Amino acid sequence: MPTPRKTLLVHGGCGRRPSTIPEGRDEALARAVAEGLRGKSAIDMVERAARFLEDNPLFNAGTGSVLTLEGHVEMDAAVMTSDLHAGAVGGITGVRHPISVARAVMEKTDHHLLVGEGATKFARHAGFPLYDPRTATRKKRWKELIAKLRAGGEAAEDRYWKRTRSWLERYLSPDERGHRSTIGAVACDAKGRLAVATSTGGIWLKLPGRVGDSPVLGGGTYACEQGAVSATGFGEGILRLGLAKYACDLMRTLPCQKALDRATAFARREGVEAGLIGVDKGGRPGSSKNAPWMPTARSVEGGPGRAPGLPLR
């Protein structure tokens, strides 16, 4: 069997192409790859890349996460490796790097998924200091949105998510509505081990307690012997389709790129906007989307690096 190629890909969400791409966004993805490559094992690589992006407020993960209807940040994150080890957190608050808490769940507990208060409490016990990931920009925007809701005679009604959805249509700008900037990373290391990391703040004005696809193993995040896949897009839909696992299963018989293309085509038929990045057991990368845009960056040993507008390595 040929030596696996050390490969790392990251994504910064999918959706419509914003009218103006925030300055530094593409460079951040390229730099996340460079940071990830400093890791030796696949899990180190994806964690390093994800932490880097969680620290960049241009993305909706960690610092810069969007706010819930009540004005808080509740973050979801997961990691998984090809030997089926996994850790995830849902609706975690008060931490800087949810992806590292997810890794701690994998390595320090007998569980795979911790949520809400329990996840936050675990983070404190595991030594993650208290941190407020809300940025001034997000707080200002939240105040504007809530003021608009109230001015429209819509008190902060939180009983029906369908209603929240119609608010999003009405009050968010097309760019805010059209692009979801969840972040994700997949890697294959020199020993052929695979890993995936996905992290997100979810969606604007979500109901407190809403958990999307990202921390759900098989939904937005999955890895197995065949491949590792991170998803971005419409969380409720991706979750329902088990899209990351579906794409990994397809890699049993299809090359990585074809498997991802087939998975995003399936999602399109089901009316679910989705983007996927993946890597297979030989380190072959792939990325696919049924949305107009999904910024990615990658490094493939022995292959050309690719980043939007930037050469890698």
Given the rule CB under 6 A, which residues bind ligand GLY?
A: 180, 182, 200, 202-203, 212-214, 220, 232-233, 235
Nearest 5°: phi and psi at 186?
-130, 150
Is 253 known to be catalytic? no
CB of 2 to ligand GLY, least distance (A): 34
CB of 82 to ligand GLY, least distance (A): 22
Q: Which is nearer to ligand GLY, 149 or 239 (CB)?
A: 239
Query: CA 147 to CA 71: how far, in whole Å?
Result: 12
CB of 235 to ligand GLY, least distance (A): 2
CB of 240 to ligand GLY, least distance (A): 12
Q: Which is nearer to ligand GLY, 100 or 221 (CB)?
A: 221
Q: Which is nearer to ligand GLY, 138 or 180 (CB)?
A: 180
Q: Which is nearer to ligand GLY, 75 or 312 (CB)?
A: 75
CB of 159 to ligand GLY, least distance (A): 20
In the set 63, 81, 120, 182, the catalytic residue is 182
Q: Which is nearer to ligand GLY, 64 or 235 (CB)?
A: 235
Q: In the sheet that 221-223 helps form, which strands lie side by side, from edge to edge?
A: 221-223, 227-233, 274-280, 285-289
What residues are labeled active site? 182
